[in-house]
Structure 1
């Protein structure tokens, strides 16, 4: 299975973590740990909320992220969901072209 690379900001990552925190721990602990580990590797401490980094997810992790975002208020997540959709679409085009 191919990893999926998604560029998100620190603020968007925090929004994802906020949504994951509403789910049972057993369901989300691995993904939360992965997000925290990637943040620590990709962004230096004190990075601004707008700082972007390319995160790597499995298809299952990305499905879970989209699920939790779908349960959050639209006005808080619609830009992130649209951005994820655009990046996934572009990734699919590149995969079929290559």
Structure 2
């Protein structure tokens, strides 16, 4: 089984984009739950605005991961950048977060 980690970095303008596309983004994550195992937003502190996010993706090629990112309603190249990493999971066991 292969795993990938996607790290997203947001600009300040992404906050409004998040508000406008939040429902579509959640629907997209649900639709692709067989590959996007988990994800969530990053904040500097618990109550501060989002500054980025993370996905863990399984059983995909790098090209498929990039397609998932580019087709996500949250993705806007002017507002959000991303990095994709192959993740060598140290202990291959089921994890619930």
TM-score between the two structures when normalised by the length of structure 1: 0.38
Which structure has the highest strand share of the two?
2
TM-score between the two structures when normalised by the length of structure 2: 0.39
